[in-house]
Structure 1
């Protein structure tokens, strides 16, 4: 096709993909082209704006490395991550809701025995977590793999600090009663990284970068859907304006504060500490869906 103009180019691009044999790929790419072209026409995109967009995406890719995933951060702050979670993880009312994966999970975290301290020297007031993992019918889920990660009291994850010593992350397995317990640090609100393109976008659109205090959990067990979620700290000032739109009321937990004294693990704490007790409920895997879900 020759002499293509702004009115005919969309059909021309779609026609070029008519031979695609992957039906789903064709559907996704066709919709992407239509929406991109409609967007450009709607806002009357200038060449300078197009070039600025290319530069922004290039810089986003250049900011990514083994410890930093700027594209996930971009997806999170645009609400795309949470939209995808909401569409793909609709659950029954009894099941624990999913939320965003975030950019700070690290595969291969140390597997520790129940009751371990995951802080690894991270700063923060002690937090003692007790949790249960059950199915919708109340059955305890034994030997579930529970991946936990959290920031320290300064709002940083270990991957944001020099060195490779794990802090604030571990993997546990539930006991025969479907329970787990461990010690970490009480979470605080923190800003997402703003030293890259995503931070520039937030500043340009007059948005704050703060996330409410939370602890991440990923729970996997045979026969159940993988759950990727957070537990948020009740009373946090950013619960209603989370920079990545991830808060769900059902995920807000009571991080109870305690004066110095005896902690749940029997230790004597000479400073303030916190406790959290939370129940996770997993959805059964749909028949025929044996593939493990992941972030």
Structure 2
């Protein structure tokens, strides 16, 4: 695959990632990882390495997307620093552990974990569980749950924003505030995970040129600019009163669940 084709694919994928990050607070790894995985295989990379490489490159991209989203939500007043402070250390420590464990886990396990999290979280968004307290936030055990989210996010590649936003909204935090806070948590996870995958893959032989450990720099660079631009657009849309937020969330999550079910079935059948 030539660099022009790589750039074109990453530009389209990056635009979708940025838009969804701004609207849903998700880093877009469910787009980036399958895209990069397919690109790496076409480049001749071994399938046992391609997925880890895709998962490792993904946070280096969502890092910049989360920076754009973080600044946008802080300006809009939807970033809850009280929640962010309580979850930051758990997210950080969990992401470190997950990044160091992931290269040693079976590829099939990592892929199944990736699609399982998509199905569970998107299912909760599409068919939401009743909140424990509708008129009062219930934010107990944030430190413990954030540590768990950090491990899952770092190992699966599904940025913790997707998990955190769903959890916080379920426990009574308004959607826009949950998204804004989730973007802040995603910034921590992306930074930690990217560094972790650089370290864990530093001495691995036969990785592509222009790689830092398990981070493929050309893929990162091609995804950054369109994702950052569209992240600001998504943040603006979510605060536009006429924008159909509920319908948009259900449509996106229904498509993601269908995709995850198909890919899980293919993995289980050995395809």
Q: Shorter-chain-normalised TM-score: which range?
A: under 0.3
Question: Which structure has the bigger radius of gyration?
Answer: 1
More strand by share: 1
Name the one with the larger helix percent. Answer: 2
Q: What is the TM-score with the length of structure 1 in the denominator? A: 0.22
